[in-house]
Structure 1
Amino acid sequence: MKIYKVYYQESKQQAPVRENTQSLYIEAESEGHVRRLLKDRPYNIEFVQALDTHYLEYEKEHAAFEMEQ
């Protein structure tokens, strides 16, 4: 399992606008698995990024890091 950072808009009807982009962290087997886990939410997913060890440590230190359940 890897940890992924998901960039999204709060609504599927909302066009991607950088200033409104939210992010969350989720543990999954693949990008496809992430998308399946989040399919019931009304999110417009812009990008799913697998976090390597160094980037994950950076995110934990500098971002509001909280794993999605």
Structure 2
Amino acid sequence: MVYKVLYQEDSLEIPVREHTKSLYIEASSEREVRQLLKEKNINIELIQLLDEAHLAYEQQSEFFRVVND
């Protein structure tokens, strides 16, 4: 399953829409996503499981890349 993670680069940064970044990660659950990202110093705003239609839409972006940490 592929998850989209919306985050701020600094864990102490207040979420501001213009500074929000996203990454895509393959994992079996949201818990696994959090475990994979816990060593990074980021402020996770949202973890969203992508269904087939949403994943197909996201794959059209030039910035789409699945992270395999």
TM interval, short-chain normalised: over 0.9
Equivalenced residues, count? 68
Runs of 4+ in 1 over 2 A off after TM superposition: none
1:43 is aligned to 42
Unaligned runs of 5+ in 2: none
Distance in 2 (CA, whole Å) between partners of 1:46 and 1:63 is 22
The residue matched to 2:54 in structure 1 has which SS?
Answer: helix
Distance in 2 (CA, whole Å) between partners of 1:61 and 1:12 is 29
1:65 is aligned to 64
Q: Percent identity?
A: 50
Unaligned runs of 5+ in 1: none
Distance in 2 (CA, whole Å) between partners of 1:48 and 1:58 is 17
Kindly report the root-mean-square deviation, in angstroms, between the aligned alpha carbons of the 2 structures: 0.9
TM norm structure 1:
0.94
